[in-house]
Amino acid sequence: MQLKRNLMFMVLGLSTLAVSAQNTQSSGQATEESNTTFKPHWYMQVQAGAAETVGEASFKDLISPAAALSVGYKFTPLWGIRAGASGWQAKGKWAVLSDSYKFNYLQGNVDATLDLSNLFCHYNPKRFFNAYMFLGVGVAGGFNNDDAVALNNAGYDMQYLWSGKKIFVAGRGGLGANLRLSKHVSFNLEVNANVLSDKFNSKKADNADWQLNALAGFTFKFGKSGKKAKPVVTYTPEPVVETVVEVKEEPAYVPAPVEEKKEEVKPLTENIFFKINSAVIRSSEESKIANLVAFLQKNTEVKVSICGYADAATGTQTINLRLSKERALAVEKALKAKGIAADRIVLDFKGDKVQPFSTNDENRVAICITE
């Protein structure tokens, strides 16, 4: 029970540190990483540390060595899959005995991984602290259970005793963090819990057996995990207005009338920028709405086109398409509230398929152009 509490405190501490580190990153000034897009890649983890098989003995009596070797593939900024082998030694103990007994096991695992840093903050390949969580399943093979067999032969009834080799199915989950040392190498910390059959430690307890691990090691990335996004340059040509002057044929002594040229109305463009994952117009953007309203009130025959966008480095295409629509609708609603008629507003949204600006933050925008 003491190890369970310690593991819980480690998990809470790791989660708090992850959120704190990401808040620090996001509160700093924008860097060139905002122009980098994610690239799927393989990685390998080598870990070693300590394990405890939860039992009725004290915490220190059931500590044993543990190790793990895993290979993973990260196919989006958030999601990945990892397969590997872990294990080494496990221990058990009777409450009335002074000596514990030990056995060995090797467990194959398949885990689904979720990048917590990219989930709560933008993707940044140069971030120092990168937290993750995982859930998975495994198959453990136990062997070298001679100590338990000897105790049973000595008169201690091991109701779930097994000898030779034994297979167990396991469920598992945990938290980890990679501390970036270089482009391809990170120092790794991980805590995980594995739940197995009550027969794992040969003792009948009428509940599942738990194997808890605290590991440290290194993560090695293969290939490039990000690539520089090509800047997107958009150009909106100004409409060309042709002025035609008609000259009527009149007698030579009658001067030809000259038509007055209409004053050319130059189009107005306002970019309404939004916060990440938001469609709420900020107070800092209200002046741009006021400019649009004043222009449309002055030029009553002019219409305005509103097109919403979302940045491609955050979220999914489905989420970003909805978000870009909500941003365009938010600007339309603000114009209508100021008295602009609905038939003067043309609405469109592009999601993250079109990136009008070179940086991710600028692409959280609704671009308004009068015509």
- More confident site: 271 or 4: 271
Pairing of strands 209-222, 41-53: antiparallel
Give per-residue pLDDT as tens, 240-297: 666 666 656 666 656 666 666 666 778 889 999 999 999 999 999 999 999 999 999 9
Contact 96, 56 (CB under 8 A): no
What whole-number distance in Å separates Cα of residue 333 and Cα of residue 107?
Answer: 58
For position 18, what pLDDT does the model report? 44
Q: Which of 4-8, 126-130, 242-246, 326-330 has the lowest mean pLDDT?
A: 4-8
Q: Return the H-helix or E-strand segment holding 304.
A: strand 304-308
- More confident site: 61 or 299: 299
For position 24, what pLDDT does the model report? 41
Give per-residue pLDDT as tens, 175-219: 999 999 999 999 999 999 999 998 898 888 888 989 899 999 999
- Residue 324 is encoded by which pair of tokens? 């870009």
- Residue 196 is encoded by which pair of tokens? 């197995």
Which is nearest to 115 in space by CA: 99, 130, 135, 96? 130
For position 202, what pLDDT does the model report? 85
Domain 269-370 has CATH 2.40.50.140: no
Give per-residue pLDDT as tens, 329-367: 999 999 999 999 999 999 999 999 999 999 999 989 888
What whole-number distance in Å separates Cα of residue 73 and Cα of residue 355?
Answer: 27
What does the DSSP 8-state code read for residue 362? G
Grade residue 25 by pLDDT with cuts at 50, 70 and 90. Answer: very low
* Torsion sign over Cα 173, 175, 179, 180: positive
Collect all residues with Cβ–Cβ distance below 8 Å to 110 and sequence separation of at least 6. 81, 82, 83, 136, 137, 138
Q: Which residues partner with 113 through β-bridges?
A: 80, 134
Is residue 50 classed exposed, middle or buried when 0-12, 13-18 and 19+ CB atoms within 10 A define those classes? middle
For position 14, what pLDDT does the model report? 52
For position 113, what pLDDT does the model report? 97
Collect all residues with Cβ–Cβ distance below 8 Å to 358 and sequence separation of at least 6. 35, 229, 231, 232, 233
Q: CA dist 4 to 7, 10, 54, 131, Å?
A: 5, 10, 8, 21
Residue 314: φ, ψ to 5°: -125, 135
What whole-number distance in Å separates Cα of residue 51 and Cα of residue 3?
Answer: 10
Grade residue 3 by pLDDT with cuts at 50, 70 and 90. Answer: very low
Q: CA dist 215 to 172, 176, 211, Å?
A: 15, 9, 13
Is residue 200 classed exposed, middle or buried when 0-12, 13-18 and 19+ CB atoms within 10 A define those classes? buried
What whole-number distance in Å separates Cα of residue 7 and Cα of residue 11?
Answer: 6
Architecture of domain 2-25+34-228: Beta Barrel (2.40)
What does the DSSP 8-state code read for residue 339? T
SS3 94: coil
Collect all residues with Cβ–Cβ distance below 8 Å to 269 and sequence separation of at least 6. 236, 367, 368, 369, 370
- Residue 158 is encoded by which pair of tokens? 């091991």
pTM over 0.85: no
Give per-residue pLDDT as tens, 27-64: 443 344 456 889 999 999 999 999 988 876 777 778 99
| Highest mean predicted confidence (pLDDT) among 37-46, 88-97, 156-165 | 37-46
For position 86, what pLDDT does the model report? 95
Residue ranges, comma separated, of all CATH 2.40.160.20 domains in the chain are 2-25+34-228
Pairing of strands 345-349, 304-308: parallel
- Residue 309 is encoded by which pair of tokens? 């966008």
Give per-residue pLDDT as tens, 214-246: 999 999 999 887 777 665 555 566 776 666 666
Residue 315: is its pLDDT beyond 60?
yes
- More confident site: 101 or 71: 71
Contact 133, 114 (CB under 8 A): yes
What whole-number distance in Å separates Cα of residue 176 and Cα of residue 189?
Answer: 5
Residue ranges, comma separated, of all CATH 3.30.1330.60 domains in the chain are 269-370
- Residue 228 is encoded by which pair of tokens? 């520089």
Residue 102: is its pLDDT beyond 60?
yes
Which is nearest to 329 in space by CA: 130, 118, 44, 337? 337
Grade residue 165 by pLDDT with cuts at 50, 70 and 90. Answer: very high
- More confident site: 99 or 261: 99
What whole-number distance in Å separates Cα of residue 124 and Cα of residue 287?
Answer: 32
> Residue for token digits 């800092």?
284
